Structure 1
C-alpha cells in the first residue's frame, strides 16, 4: 500500500473514533433522542471496505452503523442533527442512530434489526445486475448473524441465480 492510502485509512479510522468518543461524552446529558450503539474498535473494517468501493456502490449496515456511515462519506452535520432529533437530520430527525441514510455517499440504509439489511442488499445487487450496472453492494454483518433466518435464505440465492 502506498502512503497516501495508508494516511486516508488512518484519517478515516481516527475520525470515526473521535466522533464516537464525542457521543460517549455528550450522551449522558440525555438530549440525544435515540439509543446509540457504538462501533469503537471496528473502525478498520469500515475504513478498509469503504476505501475499496466506488461512489456508485451501495452500502447497507446494521445497528452499529456510525463507522460505516462516516467511512462511506456520510454527512457529519446531518448525523448530529439526527441524533438530536432535528428535522435537518439524515432521516428528518425520526430515525436516530440506528436508521442512517446518505444516498449521496452511497450509504443506502441501516436498521437496528440484526441481519435485516441482508435481503435488501441481495435485492439491490440483483437489481443492479439485471440493469447492467457495475455496482458493488456491501452489507456489514453483525455478530451471531449466521443463525438468523435472513442470512440463511439470502446466502443460498446465488446458487439459484445467474445474476449474483
Structure 2
C-alpha cells in the first residue's frame, strides 16, 4: 500500500490542473474588476461631458433660465450608458458668492431607491453675474457587485453606486 501511495505522490500527470485551479480565480477576479472599472470610468466620463455640454448651453443662452426638468432631460439625452437616467439622475444647483466663499457640502444629493421619494434638496436659479454650482449625481447598479472590486464600492441601501459630476458657471447678464 505504501509503495502505491509513494508512486501516486511522485506522478506529475495532473500538475497543471492544480496550477490552473489556484491561478484561475485570481485571473478571473482581475478580469471582472477591470471590466467593472472600465464601465464606471466610461459612465463617469459621459456624465462629466454631458454636464459640461449642458452648462455651456446655459452659459451661452443669455436671458434664459432653464428649469430643473429641462436640464435633467438635456443631460440624459447626451448620455449613452445610463440606464433609467431620468429616474437615477439627481441635480443640485446652488448660488455661491465669490467674495465670501462657502464650499458646497460634501454630501451630494443622490437618489436612493430604497427610500421614499423626496423633492429636490436645492435648485435655485441665479441672477445676473452670480456664480452657480451645478452638481449631478447618477446612481447605477454595478455589473459584478459580488466581486472584490464591486463589493468595495460605496453603495446605498438598494445596492446602487453613485457617480458625481460638478460644474460651475456665471449667470450672464441679459
Q: TM (normalized to structure 1)?
A: 0.28
Q: Which of the two has greater strand per residue?
A: 2
By percentage of residues, which structure has more helix? Answer: 1
